[in-house]
Amino acid sequence: MFGLALKSLKNRKFTTLMTIASIALSVTLLLGVERIRKEAKKSFTNTISGTDLVVGARTGPVQLLLYSVFRIGNATNNISWESYQKLGSNPNILWTIPLSLGDSHKGYRVLGTNTDYFKYFRYSGKRPLEISQGQVFNDVFDVVLGADVAKTLNYSIGDSIIISHGAGKVSFIQHDDKPFHVVGILKKTGTPVDQTLHVPLEGIEAVHIDWKDGAPIPGVSISQEEVRQMDLTPKSITAFMVGLKSRIAVFSVQRFINTYPSEPLLAILPGVALQELWDLIGIAEKALLAVSIFVVVVGLFGMLIALMTSLNERRREMAILRSVGARPLHVFSLLVGESALLTLAGVMAGIGLMYTLLMLSRSFILSNFGLYIAVTGLSVYEILLTAVVCLAGLLIGMIPGYRIYRYSLADGMMIRI
pLDDT of residue 54: 96
What pLDDT is recorded for position 302? 76
Identify any residues that bridge with 53 across adjacent strands, giving them in sequence order: 242
Return the SS3 of 77. coil
pLDDT at 349: 92
Say what the pLDDT of residue 408 is: 47
Separation CA 247–CA 375 (nearest Å): 32
Question: What is the structure's pLDDT at 228?
Answer: 87
Distances (CA, A) of 28 to 65, 306, 320, 342, 383: 35, 21, 39, 15, 13
Cβ atoms of residues 78 and 236 within 8 Å: yes
Per-residue pLDDT tens for 53-63? 999 999 989 99
What single-letter DSSP state applies at residue 49? B
What confidence tens digit (pLDDT) does each residue in 127-173 have? Answer: 899 999 999 999 999 999 999 999 999 999 999 999 987 766 655 57
Which residues does the chain have with pLDDT short of 70?
1-12, 167-172, 213-215, 281-282, 306-331, 366-372, 401-402, 404-417
Evaluated on CA atoms 202, 207, 213, 214, the torsion sign reads negative
167 in Cβ contact with 64 (< 8 Å): no
**Res 367: pLDDT:** 63
Write down the pTM of the prediction.
0.70
Task: Give 101: exposed, middle or buried? Use CB within 10 Å, 0-12, 13-18, 19+.
Answer: buried
Q: Give the model's pLDDT for residue 322.
A: 60
Determine the pLDDT at residue 417: 45
In angstroms, the Cα distances linking 313 to 64, 122, 403 are 67, 65, 13
